[in-house]
Amino acid sequence: IISFAMILGGCERSESIAEEGPVGGSETKSSFLPLENLVSCDQNFSQTGTEDGAYIRRTLLDWSEVLTFIDYEAKIGVPLCSQANCTHSDDTCTAWLPVGWNTQFVLNDKLYVICSANGNSEELLEMDLNGQNRRQVLQLNSNETFSADGVVGNAQYLFFCVEETKPETGWPEYTIRRLDLKTGKLEKIHQRSDGKNNTITLLGACGDQLVIKYVDAMGIVQESN
């Protein structure tokens, strides 16, 4: 066990990168707005609350979900739906989410949901805090998925990891994407180019820098053998 722990430790490393600068670059005086940690890389927390309450997902019997607001003062949970007699069971309801890996967070007084849509092209949804004016901010390609890693953002940008399966090899490529919330422009800002088995985990943010972890997956397998 001790030997294996040493192997894992030797194959992982964490670095911080300036958002507009090189990996491992020297400390700079940046005017970039500080970043806020929205979702932890291990999914142990997400920033889903306001001063008045918190947003959760309730799972239905068919494994679809209902976005619900927990009102701290009233001590009740209310689906984000204003329709009378709504069953909250399909996409005609503003609170309903399809079966799949979903996660939510609050940023800039908007509620965002990363939605895997049960194997269909994954998407990012944005809506008002009451569930109204829901819209699709972006949709990934069919060979791309949101990695279950950290999400960070500020008033202008959102940062997250994407796993892209390369059709020519079948191997995944991990990249960090930056979404401009004002223009909708999506960019790849960081990726591993030194091996198809190397992963990237976005751990979070520190000030105006992203904190990421590299894992050499093939190195772990080889050393274990």
* Cα atoms in the 13 Å half-sphere on the side-chain side of 159: 30
CA-nearest of 147, 196, 193 to 42 is 147
pLDDT of residue 214: 84
**C-alpha 97 chain-centroid distance:** 16
pLDDT the model gives residue 7: 46
Cβ atoms 120, 56 nearer than 8 A? no
Q: What are phi and psi of 38, to 5 degrees?
A: -105, -40
Q: In this predicted model, which residue has the larger pLDDT, 117 or 142?
A: 142
Identify the three-state secondary structure at position 169: coil
pTM of this prediction exceeds 0.75: yes
Could you report the per-residue pLDDT of 31-80, keeping only the tens digit for each? 788 999 998 877 667 788 889 999 999 999 989 999 999 999 999 999 99
Residue carrying the six token digits 């309903």: 96
What's the burial of 61, exposed, middle or buried (CB within 10 Å: 0-12/13-18/19+)? Answer: exposed
Residue 4: per-residue pLDDT:
46
The string of DSSP letters for 196-210 reads TTEEEEEEEEETTEE
| 5-30: pLDDT as tens digits | 444 444 455 555 555 544 444 455 66
Q: pLDDT tens digits for 155-198?
A: 999 999 998 888 887 778 889 999 999 999 999 999 876 555 67
pLDDT value for 26 = 44
Q: Where are the beta strands (DSSP E) in 108-208?
A: 110-115, 123-127, 135-139, 144-146, 151-153, 157-165, 172-180, 186-191, 198-206
Which residues, including other chains, have CB under 8 Å from residue 71's CB and lie 6 or more apart?
52, 53, 77, 78
Backbone angles phi, psi at 176, to 5 degrees: -105, 130
Token reading at 79:
């689906």
Residue 114 has pLDDT above 60, yes or no: yes
Task: Reply yes or no on whether the pLDDT at 117 is more than 80.
Answer: no
* Residue 215: per-residue pLDDT: 81
The confidence score (pLDDT) of residue 23 equals 42
